[in-house]
Amino acid sequence: MAGHVSPTKVYYTIFGSLMVLTAVTVTVAFINLGGLNFPVALGIAILKATLVILFFMHVKYSSRLTKLICGTAFFFLLVLFGLTLSDYLSRGWFTAPGGTTGAGTRVTIGPATPAPPAEP
């Protein structure tokens, strides 16, 4: 019948690895790595998700079609993040001669004109 039956040992090993990775990510969160904190936390999360997908969700033993469908989720997620960020992050990089420097820069929340500092 369909479906690969993994030995229980596999599941316990994956669970153990996920616990270790959780401990690592919490520990690293208390160490100031500057700009590296975010990529490290994200990298560990991606590794954990991969373990769950491959072993708990049986993608490792699934058909190629299932693997492909699973892959499209992450492909389109990258398209969403990549294209959106390439727009927002590149705003204000270049200004055409005679153009307005302010055009397309970040959206500010609150009053349009910054209020003068209230504190003495």
Partner 1 sequence: MSNGLAAHADPHGHAHHPALQHHFQTLDQQHEAATLGMWVFLVTEVMFFGGLLMAYLLYRVWYPEAWSEGSLELDIRLGGFNTVVLIASSLTMALGVRAAQTGAQRTTVRWLLLTMALGLTFLVVKFFEYKEKWDLNHIPGPNFVFEGPQEMSDHLQIFFSLYFGLTGLHALHMVIGVSILSVITWMAHRRRFTPEWYTPVEISGLYWHFVDIVWIFLFPLLYLVDRAHQLG
CA dihedral 51, 57, 42, 83 (to 10 degrees): 130
**Count of chain residues binding partner 1 (CB under 8 A):** 55
Alpha carbons within 13 angstroms on the beta-carbon side of residue 113 total 2
Q: Which one among 101, 109, 112, 116 touches partner 1, defined by CB under 8 A? A: 109
Neighbours of 55 (CB within 10 A): 19
Cα distance between residue 102 and residue 100, in whole Å: 5
State which residue, 96 or 112, has the beta carbon closest to partner 1: 112
Point out which residues bind partner 1 (CB under 8 A).
Answer: 1-3, 5-6, 8, 11-12, 14-15, 18-19, 22, 25-26, 29-34, 37-38, 41-42, 44-45, 48-49, 52-53, 55-58, 62-63, 65-66, 69-70, 72-74, 76-77, 80-81, 84-85, 88-89, 106, 109-110
